[in-house]
Amino acid sequence: MANLLDVLKEKLEGKNVRIVFPEGNDERVLAAAVKLNETAYVTPVVLGNADELKATADKAGVSVAGLEIIDPATSELRSELIASFVERRKGKATEEQAEKMMNDGNYFGTMLVHTGKAAGLVSGAAHSTADTVRPALQIIKTKPGVAKTSGVFFMLRDDEQYVFGDCAINPTLEASDLAEIAVESAKTAQSFGMDPKVAMLSFSTKGSAKTPETEKVAEATRLAQDKKAEAGLDNVVIDGEFQFDAAFVPSVAAKKAPESPIQGDANVFVFPSLEAGNIGYKIAQRLGGFDAIGPILQGLNAPVNDLSRGCSTDDVYDLAIITAAQTL
């Protein structure tokens, strides 16, 4: 399998997709933006005070020459974005409240996406997931038919490529939520050239244990199998419930789930809870040596993606490429 990022760069060549970075004062973000600005894949739009950004750039050993910088405090776009925000919130925010909101880089940047002045946003290096996601849910909002946004990671190692979800957004999930995440994760995998085989994970395989937790995953599997046809995913395999080894190791699958269409060849894994998903991806990343790109938010009307606060410059760069590719 060709490296995902190399494939995406080929698709993005010459597109110069405008991606907003609200955290211009973060050295990692600024260094990634400078690197992206040298490509024809992404045109970075960095938010912050120009003098402060230059000082940050000097500290990071990079130059901001030629980089598009917008200061939310003084931008000529403020009045337009404030009016648009008030209209979008439909009585939930006054003009005075909107004025304060536009001082927040995440809100200002999300409004740039909403008004078409940028195609996507990458944040989270210096903010919590909630700080990144809240403006997106209020302004960008979810697509019709999607109840909740969710966060997946692309897990990459050499020629191996997997999708893990939900690892970032929803602390508690009902069976219907898990089913929706399964379908949206399959769509995400497809949109990046994968042939998704979706495993619904638990600590039970095909009824080997029966508890409310395992029954929830079994019900989610049934719901996802019903929902996939509505989403145009008739040929996508979604099955469960599986222990991870039964979904990933052919010899274990042959013993524990011999009738399943998934025989140790799953490549999209839906975790039963945020707790399990977050722990799972970090174990794969830190012990397994996988690159974890994400979280990539699913179900929004435009791409807004969240970095880990422990991210590197390369992580920022890679997530920007993913975000740009979501607009194609």
Range of the domain at 109: 4-141+301-326
pLDDT, position 1: 37
One domain for residues 203 and 162: yes
Same domain? 64 vs 11: yes
Residue 296 belongs to some domain of the structure? no
Residues in the chain predicted with pLDDT less than 70, given as ranges, are 1-2
**What is the 8-class DSSP label of residue 142?**
B
Structural domains in the chain (count): 2
Q: Does residue 195 share a domain with residue 157? A: yes
**Cβ–Cβ contacts within 10 Å for residue 247, how many?**
29
Is 159 part of a structural domain of the chain? yes
| Residues 282 and 312 grouped into a single domain | no
For the chain, give the longest Cα–Cα distance: 65
Domain CATH for 16: 3.40.50.10950
Examine residue 45 and state whether it is found in any structural domain, yes or no.
yes
Question: 100 and 45 share a domain?
Answer: yes
pLDDT computed for residue 4 by the predictor: 81
Q: Does residue 104 belong to any structural domain of this protein?
A: yes
> Do 120 and 23 lie in a common domain?
yes
Residues 243 and 314 in one domain: no
Sort strands 150-157 and 160-165 into parallel, antiparallel or unpaired: antiparallel
Q: How far apart are CA 42 and CA 325, in angstroms?
A: 10
Question: What does the pLDDT read at residue 206?
Answer: 94
CATH at residue 156? 3.40.50.10750
Residues 216, 180, single domain; the answer is yes
C-alpha dihedral sign at 63, 65, 67, 70? positive
